[in-house]
Structure 1
């Protein structure tokens, strides 16, 4: 995995590719959360389609997706703590990037 602007790496760290780290964190989650994250974030499936496929309501998929995102962030931070990702706003945060938030 290489970045177009920095010759490889992520987050200003040349040569750093977090793919294996993210996969390890993802695999530590319950299977249902793995499936929801895969379908929603990787495949781009609609929550309604995910609900029908998994036998859930759309509201349940929305709730579980939020829980799965938070669990993935937590698992990543627990497996790979750094000064940048141990607080509320880390590498996996959905914040705007504004340090005053």
Structure 2
């Protein structure tokens, strides 16, 4: 429902709206500050592990070449996909999907 133009632009409506918004803003800020000050610290859920602690030592990380399992493959011509699927399938011929 729209308000008439005379009410929307009247100085009393504007000043009442501003006062109401100021009070609402102050109420929100006050409640946030009270909640922020009264919050407890979060529970300690992480282990007491410090990566910079020399007592903890280092985990062994053996070297693994990143291209150890590389096999060179050549491009191939298109083939009958159904025959290729049947050749590589562990199911018996005619067993369905």
Normalising by structure 1, we get a TM-score of 0.25
The higher-RCO structure (CA 8 Å, 6+ apart) is 1
The alignment's TM-score, normalised by the length of structure 2, stands at 0.26
More helix by share: 1
